[in-house]
Amino acid sequence: MFYLLKVEEYVRVEPKHFGLPTHEAIEKQLNEDFVDSITKEYGYVISVISVDKIEEGVIIPGDGSAFYNSIFNLLVWKPELHELVYGTITEITNFGAFIQIGPAQGMIHISQTMEDYVSLSKSGTLSGKSSKRNLAKGDDCAARIVAISYKADTPKIGLTMRQPGLGKLQWLDEDRQKKESASKKSSNKEDRKGKKGGKK
């Protein structure tokens, strides 16, 4: 999920930025320190939106940099457990599929791709034995986050598409059309029964 975070902390401005106006120096330092970084606290930092407040600079003996207590806003994307996400399949493997969700990549284990026995076909797609449905690179999908781990440099995000309302968007459209068709047929039968019952 995307968030706009207001952060207050001391920004360590390196000497290479000393020739710039203070506000510009802090913006440059924040961009270097935060943009494209990934932490458990903030998630994926996309952009420094603004710097709202800068206090007087402090110099610490033995450190050539200046420190400014600042309030600034960050645009971040932070995965949340059980969050519904939309993404595109970027890779199919024999153990599942990788999906691009926002700035991150998640993994769907083969057992979590659909309610079916799934295997890797010769054409490089994941195929359901009974449903005959295929999942391929480039497919747009809806999934739910079921696991997040920050142990590695890049967080590992586990996803599922086995719950109702999840899966390849084409499948969801097909399921909706089947329900609408079944609902119309049921409604037509009720209408016919009503007309027959009303005749004398």
Burial of 120 (0-12, 13-18, 19+ CB in 10 A): middle
pLDDT value, residue 181: 86
Q: Mean pLDDT, consecutive 10-residue segments, the chain of 200 residues?
A: 94 95 96 93 94 94 94 96 96 95 94 93 92 94 95 90 92 89 76 62
**26 domain residue, yes or no:** yes
Report the relative pairing of strands 84-93 and 66-77 from DSSP bridges: unpaired
β-pairing, 84-93 vs 167-168, is unpaired
Residue 180 lies inside a defined structural domain of this protein: no
CATH number at residue 20: 3.30.1490.120
Decide if 187 is inside a domain. no
Amino acid at 103: P
Domain span at residue 126?
A: 84-172
Domains of the chain: total: 2
- Residue 195's pLDDT is what? 64
Round to whole Å and give the CA distance between 8 and 191: 66
Tokens describing residue 41: 């606290």
Spatial CA neighbour of 82 closest among 168, 158, 164, 153: 158
Distances (CA, A) of 57 to 62, 70, 132: 15, 10, 65
Cα distance between residue 51 and residue 71, in whole Å: 6
CB-count exposure of residue 154 (10 Å: 0-12, 13-18, 19+)? exposed
Residues 21, 94: one domain? Answer: no
Chain centroid to Cα 159, Å, comes to 10
Q: What is the pLDDT of residue 151?
A: 85
Q: What is the pLDDT of residue 194?
A: 64
Instruction: Say yes or no: 42 and 100 in one domain.
Output: no
Q: Are residues 70 and 127 in the same domain?
A: no
Is residue 191 domain-resident?
A: no
| Same domain for 109 and 69 | no
Are residues 65 and 94 located together in one domain of the fold?
no
Identify the CATH number of the domain in which residue 139 sits.
2.40.50.140
Per-residue pLDDT, 191 = 66
**SS3 category, 137:** coil
> Within this chain, do residues 73 and 89 fall inside the same structural domain, yes or no?
no
Pairing state between β 104-109 and 156-160: parallel
Query: Are residue 88 and residue 111 in the same domain, yes or no?
Result: yes
Residue 192 counted as domain residue = no
Note the pLDDT of residue 184: 80
- Domain-located, residue 178: no
Where is the domain boundary, 37, 59, 77?
77
Given this model, what pLDDT does residue 175 score?
87
What does pTM read for this prediction? 0.77
* Residue 88 and residue 23 share a domain: no
Tokens at 94, concatenated = 């024999």
